[in-house]
Amino acid sequence: MKRLLGLIILTGISALCTPARAQVDTDFDGILNVSESNCIGTSPTDPDSDDDFIRDDVEAGATLCPASPTNTDGTDSIDALDADSDNDTISDRHESRCTTVCTNPADSGGVASQPDYRDVDSDGDGISDAIEAGDADLSTPPAASDDDGLADYIDTDSDNDTVLDGVDNCRTIDNLDQADTLGTPAGDACDDTDADTVADAIDNCPTDENTDQIDTDDDGDGDVCDADDDDDTVDDEDDNCRIVENTMQEDLDEDEAGDACDDDDDGDEVDDADDNCAGVANPDQHDADDDDAGDACDDDDDDDGLDDDEDNCPSADNPAQLDDDDDGEGNACDDDVDNDGVDDDEDNCAYVANPDQEDEDDDGRGDECEGDADSDDSADEDDNCRDVPNPDQVDTDNDGIGDACDDSDGDGIPDGQDNCVGVDNDDQTDEDGNGVGDDCEDDPDGDEEPNEDDNCPTVPNPDQEDVDGDGVGDACESIQDEDDDGVADEDDLCPEDADADQDDNDDDGEGDACDADDDNDGFSDTREREYGTDPTDANDHPIATGGGCAVTAQPAGGFAREVAWLAAVLGALAALNGRRRRTGNSRAANRSSCS
């Protein structure tokens, strides 16, 4: 008896001294931490160890050690750690149909008391979930052939044709008649003659394998069985661009790849996207005038206004087309201008033929051109352009330098070539192409309306139409200028007040023409003019003092300005107070407001 009593006491003491942590369930999943860690293998801190929205104790089926956790498919992982417990290629998460961790996963009734995630035929239609899943990718939702909101694996009539899946010869395609012309296990609606996994009924090439179903011209016939993939009336076997429409079959470089699908039309090994002459072979990409049109396809390589086929120097700017030796090669690109067999850079008479290069006085100038260096029949001592031939000796500005070598307006273009001598116009703009630069022409746009009368001086508009009657012709009305000061409204500091100079004394973004306070000193321009201060000088402004106004110069700076404002306010208040106290004529005396 004493021995039994002692055993009871020891057992009680042992129970009292058992560590409390043995009873802990940190993640509240119904399995004690010690069991999860020691024998089940689930996480003691995560109630859903395999992240399938089914709580660990529901999947494990055991909560205490020793335990034999449920393993539906008999693989290495128990259900609580298996993303697909029944191995039917549909994830437990999809089959549970829970949106958060739950203890009541879905059961569609396939096998009594067996939830879908453990049931290989969830809807009990005799077709395994693995077949009805659609694919073996656990991350994708299971297939759903109709629009009833149920996936095929839990839908006993997947195509909604009133024929149950278990007896339907085309389970995923509506075929109520169950026609089966070929007598195959599959009905006509889902026969797949070419075995490309696309049923004949929806296959754009039912007898030719083409799982991708590509149909370039969208004509209903897949490219694999379409004789003209791009529908350009040229059969594919003869088409040099089979999948790009090109009825004309242009092939510039004759490489059998039509231009429509050839990245290098001219075959110069420069891709069309980067080629400055995509239609003309020019591997060197030479572009003399840098106008992005390669010389090979540029009608005016040197951009001198003359087409290459008429230009005696197509790659050198020479609008004057001087050619002293009449050899058809202009001076600008002729290494031997006088055609005497001696290159110009070595010729002591570059403009006079002297193959022997005789120079009696050894002065570096050949005897043949001594006295007339440019051979223009004007002696050097009288020649107003000693090194440039100008037999007419024209000197428009009478400065002693002939037009041929003079640039009287400093625009970088010799007067002899300048379309507007005396006016700086380096762009040589000539809207009407009459040879006279716009800057020195009364009618630059050539519409026979002088500038002084033209309501659109830079755009030809002989009819001078002006629908809104604002003085600006309709032809250039796209540029809005409400105050007609020549500055577009979007750029005009004062769009409603004409101010061509766009002066803004205080740089506040409001032009002086419409700014009430040009110097931003807090005193209106009108008031400053009234008191004789400078409305454009922030340091010169009226200051309110007592009942009148005194003009004093104030130092620059924000503090001085604030003092000025305060003085103005005080002056105004004093004047107001005076008006209240004084009557009669005294009310009109000594009142002032300087702001």
Q: How far apart are CA 513 and CA 496, in angstroms?
A: 9
pLDDT digits 0-9 by tens, 71-90: 999 999 999 999 999 999 99
Are 413 and 406 in contact by the 8 Å Cβ rule? The answer is: no
Is position 65 within any domain?
yes
**Number of domains the chain is built from:** 2
Specify which of 130-139, 436-445, 460-469 reaches the highest per-range mean pLDDT. Answer: 130-139
Neighbouring C-beta atoms of residue 139, cutoff 10 Å: 9
Split at pLDDT 50, 70, 90, the class of 223 is: very high
Is position 92 within any domain?
yes
Domain end call among 128, 156, 184: 156
How is residue 206 annotated by DSSP?
T
| 565 has a pLDDT exceeding 60 | no
Is position 319 within any domain?
no
Which pairs from 324-331 meet CB under 8 Å and 24+ separation? 324/351, 324/375, 324/389, 325/353
Q: How far apart are CA 383 and CA 375, in angstroms?
A: 10
| 346 has a pLDDT exceeding 80 | yes
% of the chain with per-residue pLDDT over 90: 35
Is position 330 within any domain?
no
Residues 6+ apart with CB under 8 A from 209: 194, 195, 196, 224
Domain end call among 156, 174, 204: 156
pLDDT at 107: 95
Domain end call among 134, 156, 178: 156
Closest CA to 136 of 211, 195, 83: 83
Closest CA to 564 of 534, 532, 542: 542
Specify which of 212-221, 310-319, 548-557 reaches the highest per-range mean pLDDT. Answer: 212-221
Q: What is the pTM of this model?
A: 0.39
Burial of 177 (0-12, 13-18, 19+ CB in 10 A): exposed
- State which residues form the domain around 143: 24-156
Distance of CA 311 to the CA centre of its chain: 41
Is position 391 within any domain?
no
Split at pLDDT 50, 70, 90, the class of 47 is: very high
Is position 229 within any domain?
no
> What integer is the mean pLDDT of 149-157?
96
Is position 131 within any domain?
yes
Identify whether 66 is preceded by a cis peptide bond (ω within 30 of 0). yes
Are 407 and 415 in contact by the 8 Å Cβ rule? The answer is: yes
Closest CA to 308 of 430, 318, 338, 433: 318
Q: How far apart are CA 336 and CA 329, in angstroms?
A: 10
Is position 560 within any domain?
yes
